[in-house]
C-alpha cells in the first residue's frame, strides 16, 4: 500500500512539474515564431512617420532575432483609420501602432477613440515641425508669407498633412492667431503635401523636419515652429517663430511618436515588446538615424509612457479648443 501511495505521489509530482513547465513555456511563448508582428503606420509611405516606423522595425529584428516584423500603411481619416485598425485588432500583441501627437488630435476631434482605447508600450522621440516653401518660391521668409497673406486674405494656401493631424492643428492654430489670413488646405499625409508644395499647387506647407530634409533640394525651410532648434546642419540658420519676428505665436512645435497596441494585450507580450523596442531604440543604428534627422529623444516605457501621454493630452486641450476642432468632452 505504501509503495502504491509513493508511486502515486511521484506521478503527481511529475505531472505537476510537467504542468508548471507548460505554464512557463506558455508565458515565454511570445512572440510565436509562426506569427507576424505588424506595426501599422497610419500615414502614407515616404513620409517622416513611415520612415521612422521602418527604421524601428529593422532595429527590432536585429536585437530580437525575430524577423517576422512588418510595417503596414493604413491611411485616411487624418490617421483615424489606421488607429482604429489597431483598436479593433485582437489583443494579443501582434498589432502595433506608430502612435503620435496626431492620434491625440484625432481622439479629441472625434475621428477615433485613440488613446482612450490603446495600451501604451514605449514613447520614442519628438520630431520638430518646419514651415517650408518650394525652392524657387517668391517667399523668402516667414515675414514675407504673413505680410502677403495679410494684404491678400484667403489667397495664400497653407498646407498640412490632415485636418486633425498635428500639422493640421498647427495650421488652423496659426490661422486663428493671425486672424484667418490663410486658406488652410489639408492633404492625406506628407506623401500628398510634399508634391503639392513642390509643384506650386500649395504656397506654404507645415512639414516634419525629416520630410523637408529628404526634399531639401526642392523645399526651403523658413521657420521652425516652437522654441527648439535642430541639430541638423542643413537647418542651423533656420529661425524659430520668435527669431522670425513672431514670439506671440504659440503652437505645437513638433510631433511626438511612440508605440501602442490594442487595449487588453497580455502583460507578458507588452513586457517583451517594451524591452525589445528599448533595445532597438538604443542601438547605434537607430540612434544614428535619430541624430542624422535631428529627432529629440523622449523615451518612456509602459506606465511611464502612459503618464507622459496624459501630460501631453492636457497640453493639447487648450490648443484644440482654440481652433474650434475639438469635439465632445474635449470641446468643453
d(CA 268, CA 93) in angstroms, rounded, equals 9
Please determine, for residue 26, whether its predicted confidence score (pLDDT) is greater than 70.
no
Please determine, for residue 199, whether its predicted confidence score (pLDDT) is greater than 60.
yes
What pLDDT is stored for residue 191 in this prediction?
Answer: 85
CA Rg value for the chain: 24
Start and end residues for every CATH 3.40.190.10 domain found in the chain: 128-235
**Degrees, nearest 5: CA angle 131-134-138:** 95
- pTM (two decimals): 0.77
**What CATH code would you report for 37-126+255-331?**
3.40.190.150
State mean pLDDT over 191-211. Answer: 94
**What CATH code would you report for 128-235?**
3.40.190.10
Start and end residues for every CATH 3.40.190.150 domain found in the chain: 37-126+255-331
Residue-wise pLDDT for 248-299, tens only, equals: 988 888 889 999 999 999 999 999 999 999 999 999 999 999 988 888 899 9
**Helices 80-87/101-108 angle, 10° precision:** 90
Average pLDDT across the chain, whole number: 90
Instruction: State the CB neighbour count (10 A cutoff) for residue 95.
Output: 21
What pLDDT is stored for residue 28 in this prediction?
Answer: 54
**Strand, coil or helix: 27:** helix
Q: Check: CB of residue 121 under 8 Å from CB of residue 258.
A: yes
**Length of the chain (residues):** 332
Amino acid at each position: 500500500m505504501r509503495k502504491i501511495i509513493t508511486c502515486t505521489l511521484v506521478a503527481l509530482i511529475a505531472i505537476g512539474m510537467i504542468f508548471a513547465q507548460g505554464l512557463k513555456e506558455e508565458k515565454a511563448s511570445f512572440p510565436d515564431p509562426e506569427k507576424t508582428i505588424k506595426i501599422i503606420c497610419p500615414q502614407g509611405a515616404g513620409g517622416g512617420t513611415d520612415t521612422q516606423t521602418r527604421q524601428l522595425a529593422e532595429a527590432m529584428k536585429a536585437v530580437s532575432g525575430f524577423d517576422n516584423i512588418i510595417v503596414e500603411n493604413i491611411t485616411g481619416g487624418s490617421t483615424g483609420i489606421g488607429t482604429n485598425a489597431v483598436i479593433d485588432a485582437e489583443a494579443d500583441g501582434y498589432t502595433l501602432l506608430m502612435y503620435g501627437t496626431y492620434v491625440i488630435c484625432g481622439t479629441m476631434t472625434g475621428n477615433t477613440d485613440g488613446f482612450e482605447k490603446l495600451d501604451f508600450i514605449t514613447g520614442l522621440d519628438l520630431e520638430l515641425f518646419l514651415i517650408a516653401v518650394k525652392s524657387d518660391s517668391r517667399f523668402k521668409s516667414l515675414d514675407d508669407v504673413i505680410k502677403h497673406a495679410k494684404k491678400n486674405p484667403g489667397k495664400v494656401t497653407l498646407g498640412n498633412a490632415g485636418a486633425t493631424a498635428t500639422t493640421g492643428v498647427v495650421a488652423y492654430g496659426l490661422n486663428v492667431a493671425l486672424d484667418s489670413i490663410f486658406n488652410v488646405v489639408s492633404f492625406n499625409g506628407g506623401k500628398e503635401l510634399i508634391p503639392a508644395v513642390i509643384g506650386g499647387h500649395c504656397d506654404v506647407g507645415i512639414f516634419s523636419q525629416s520630410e523637408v530634409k529628404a526634399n531639401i533640394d526642392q523645399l526651403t525651410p523658413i521657420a521652425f515652429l516652437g522654441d527648439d532648434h535642430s541639430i541638423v546642419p542643413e537647418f542651423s540658420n533656420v529661425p524659430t517663430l520668435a527669431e522670425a519676428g513672431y514670439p506671440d505665436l504659440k503652437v505645437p512645435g513638433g510631433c511626438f511618436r511612440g508605440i501602442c497596441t490594442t487595449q487588453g494585450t497580455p502583460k507578458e507580450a507588452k513586457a517583451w515588446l517594451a524591452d525589445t523596442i528599448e533595445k532597438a531604440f538604443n542601438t547605434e543604428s537607430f540612434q544614428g538615424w535619430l541624430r542624422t534627422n535631428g529627432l529629440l529623444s523622449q523615451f518612456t516605457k509602459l506606465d511611464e509612457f502612459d503618464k507622459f501621454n496624459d501630460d501631453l493630452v492636457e497640453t493639447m486641450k487648450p490648443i484644440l479648443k482654440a481652433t474650434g476642432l475639438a469635439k465632445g468632452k474635449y470641446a468643453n
